[in-house]
Chains A and B, each alone.
Chain A
Amino acid sequence: MEEWEESGPEVVKRFMYVNRRAPYGTIYALECLEVVLIAAAFDQDVSVVFLDDGVCQLKKNQDTTAIGMKNFSRTYGALDDYDVEKIYVEKESLEARGLTADDLVIPVEVIAADDLRDVMAQQDVVISS
């Protein structure tokens, strides 16, 4: 499979992953992150959106020691290595939770719903979780 990756894909589609769930309480956030990394490893055009409670996935200073789960917030830092550079956080969701871009583990593009809908409309595949 690694040899195949070297040769590059035949078709590149625009994949958008929409994260709407908080981390840890359910498995959705972690599963979606894994799917994003897999899609990106296959040289697809990947963008990631954090919406609703999904913005909580990116909150800084997560410490999961006491709950005995893997702190996967650190993995978002590897998105750049996977060439996932289009990372959007919906402004309205952030504000509703009293958070700002400074509270997040990675640099993101904070985007209002009005603009997000245009970005969403340009995708070939949109997967929400």
Chain B
Amino acid sequence: MNSMLHLINKSPFERTALDSCLRVAKAGSSILLIEDGVYAALKNAAHAIKISTRMEDFSFYVLGPDVAARGLGDTPLIEGITVVDYEGFVDLVAEHEVTQSWL
């Protein structure tokens, strides 16, 4: 059982949720980007380095339906981020002892 699943649903451009999570979360945690949080997964964005440099510390996931809704299905995402569907979301919640939503 992994320790903690962190949910980020805010855009990294306008909120500090992702920054705070990356600063505070314990290595080995999982981070799932949902809703406007999926913009953090954009490979060619200025902030991509925030996630790409932390691949060894965390397992990153992004919610596919939210990626598709925002027209990012054809846009390069940061390598190493796993795309999950709603079932995968449920599995992640079940696999972790604690889920934390960074609202």
Residue positions of A touching B, CB distance < 8 A: 20-26, 52-53, 56, 59-67, 69, 71, 73, 95-99, 103
Contact A67-B13, Cβ < 8 Å, known A22-B39, A62-B70, A96-B46: no
Q: Interface segment, B22-30, B51-59, B61-69?
A: B61-69
Residues of A within 8 A of B64 (CB): 66
**In which size bucket is the chain B interface?**
20 to 34
Query: How many Å from the CB of A14 to the closest CB on chain B?
Result: 27
Can you give 9 A-B contacts (C-beta < 8 A)?
A25-B36, A56-B70, A62-B68, A67-B66, A96-B47, A97-B13, A97-B39, A97-B46, A98-B75
Q: Which of A23, A65, A95, A96 contacts B70 (CB 8 A)?
A: A23
> Do B74 and A61 touch across chains, with their CB atoms under 8 A apart?
yes
> Do B36 and A22 touch across chains, with their CB atoms under 8 A apart?
yes
Residues of B within 8 A of A96 (CB): 13, 45-47
Report the bound CA distance from A24 to B13 in whole Å.
16
15 other A-B residue contacts (CB within 8 Å) besides A63-B69, A97-B46 = A20-B14, A22-B36, A23-B69, A25-B9, A25-B10, A25-B11, A52-B13, A53-B39, A56-B70, A62-B68, A66-B64, A67-B65, A67-B69, A71-B69, A98-B43
Contact A25-B43, Cβ < 8 Å, known A62-B70, A67-B66, A73-B71: no
> Do A26 and B36 touch across chains, with their CB atoms under 8 A apart?
yes
A interface majority secondary structure: loop
Query: How many Å from the CB of A21 to the closest CB on chain B?
Result: 8
Report the bound CA distance from A23 to B13 in whole Å.
14
Residues of A within 8 A of B66 (CB): 24, 67
Q: Which of B10, B11, B42 contacts A98 (CB 8 A)?
A: B42
Q: Which of A53, A62, A63, A67 contacts B11 (CB 8 A)?
A: A53
> Do B35 and A25 touch across chains, with their CB atoms under 8 A apart?
yes
Residues of B within 8 A of A61 (CB): 71, 73-74
> Do B71 and A63 touch across chains, with their CB atoms under 8 A apart?
yes
> Do B71 and A98 touch across chains, with their CB atoms under 8 A apart?
no
Query: How many Å from the CB of B42 to the closest CB on chain A?
Result: 6
Query: How many Å from the CB of A107 to the closest CB on chain B?
Result: 17
Q: Mark B73-102, 1 if CB is under 8 A from A, else 0.
A: 111100000000110000000000000000
